[in-house]
């Protein structure tokens, strides 16, 4: 929902702004240009902006993959 998108953007401190609609009802969205790395548990691990090279991102992702340890099961599971 739009409310969920706004809440997620706020949680990750992402900027977004929908522009005015044109005659066809279309619009552009201005937004942050970031890629977020989440682990299999959904936990935030890193954030990559446009200044990071592909090699830097690959090294970071590999390092996070190599050091990943799953969260323990929640109590009662």
pLDDT tens, N- to C-terminus, the chain (77 residues): 989 989 988 988 889 898 999 999 999 999 889 999 999 998 999 999 999 999 999 999 999 999 999 988 888 66
Could you state, in order of their start, the residue ranges of all structural domains in the chain?
Answer: 1-32, 33-70
Within 13 Å of residue 65, how many CA atoms lie on the same side as its CB? 6
> SS3 string of 14-49?
CCEEECCCCCCCCCCEEECCCEEEECCCCCEEEEEC
pLDDT at 71: 86
pLDDT at 74: 80
Q: What are the binding residues?
A: 31
Nearest Cα to 8, choosing from 39, 40, 38?
38
pLDDT at 63: 97
Q: What are the binding residues for Cu cation?
A: 31
pLDDT at 75: 81
pLDDT at 7: 94
Stated pTM of the model = 0.67
């Amino acid at each position: 929902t739009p409310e969920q998108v706004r809440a997620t953007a706020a949680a990750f401190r992402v900027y977004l702004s929908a522009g005015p609609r044109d005659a066809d009802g279309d619009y552009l969205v201005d937004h942050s240009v970031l890629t977020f790395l989440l682990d299999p548990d959904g936990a935030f691990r890193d954030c990559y902006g446009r200044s990071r090279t592909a090699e830097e991102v690959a090294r970071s992702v590999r390092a996070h993959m190599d050091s990943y340890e799953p969260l323990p099961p929640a109590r009662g599971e």
